[in-house]
Structure 1
Amino acid sequence: MSTNISEQNRLNSNGSNIISFLFTLSQNHKNRYKSLERDLERCVGTLTSISTPADPNEIGKLKLKFFDQNDTGYWAEEVSEGVLYFLAVLCIIHQPDPPKLLLLEEPEKGIHPRRIKEVMEFIFELAELRDIQIIITSHSPYVVDHFTDTPENISVFDRENGETVIRNALYDIIEPANARNAEKNLPPIHYTDALGEHWVSGFLGGVPL
């Protein structure tokens, strides 16, 4: 994984220019680059800094390298897919002119389940600071649990009669279900106490066909 030296102020949607982008950020926006490193350490923990040194095997090209607390270096191909994915997210958020809308596909990918809530909270904290709206697609109950206090922010996609149907978790699913319970003199079910589990069980929909 190496690239030619070039100035890149914006990360490509597929992250293909991430090495050139980080090199540009480190040279022209040092404070943003330092903030990105701090944020990476805060969520990854074991990795504390990154650099874009010369490729030892190809003249004129750069590679991506990570360092831990002991200053031990790891090339990009030696770290997990989750680390690379999260670094790409940080690059988008910390770029000089960040987008107003950020689409994240399965942000839980490569992240230990115990850290998903922490990472999700961190991503949203950064997005709020940079005034970025986030749309997430996910198949993880841990990600769904992140919206326990705001189930109205969840849209559930189902395939019905060959068409995609979108329902709001709170207004189209949870509240109507409890209204039906009330008509039958049954107590309301506190679905948000285990939102992810109720999604896995099929109550919220979005189950595989």
Structure 2
Amino acid sequence: ETVETYRQRLYDISWFMRDLNEYIAREANKEDGCTGRFWEGRFKSQALLDESAVLACMAYVDLNPIRAKMEKTPETSKHTSIKKRIHAAKNKQPQPSVLTPFVGNPCENMPKGIPYSLKDYIELVDTTGRCIRDDKAGHIDNTQSPILERLGLDSAQWLTLTTEFEKHFCYAAGAEQMMNAFKRHTHHQRLRGMTKAKELLKRA
């Protein structure tokens, strides 16, 4: 019975987050001399079903400080992976070992990692951040963003994904075909985000 209990806990994200939240809340409340929850809302866990969804979610998270108007550039955005990647690149160091590396454009015998160029991703996030910071619809020229071309996304789709990712996807994000496969696998009757998956994450 004990083994079964721990086995269930090991793959239960809700149990893990509840335990983690309680510990952090206790420590923070002790430090600040107050009571109450530490996190504002419940955590979200979304399955990222293809490369477009992975990169869109990465950029969405990397641009959090800019959308919140806490920072002006990706390289100054505290607690983001993009800052760590830029810092390493500027100092001619290897990519941080704690982050999944960008391993270059797709090819045969691909090493394990994200199959795009780090330079392309940094430029794309920087350009996207400027569009968001300027508080306008913005336009990203595909000639400056080869990742978008390879993903089969246009600038309008990309800007929607990187500013409204959590708004449109709940349990999973990916192209329509991947979303349908996820729905069958998880036995969901309906899956929020199917319409946006069809609109925003077309397969290249």
TM bracket, shorter-chain basis: under 0.3
Larger Rg computed on CA atoms: 1
Relative to its length, the structure with more strand (as a share) is 1
Relative to its length, the structure with more helix (as a share) is 2
Superposition TM-score, scaled by structure 1 size: 0.25
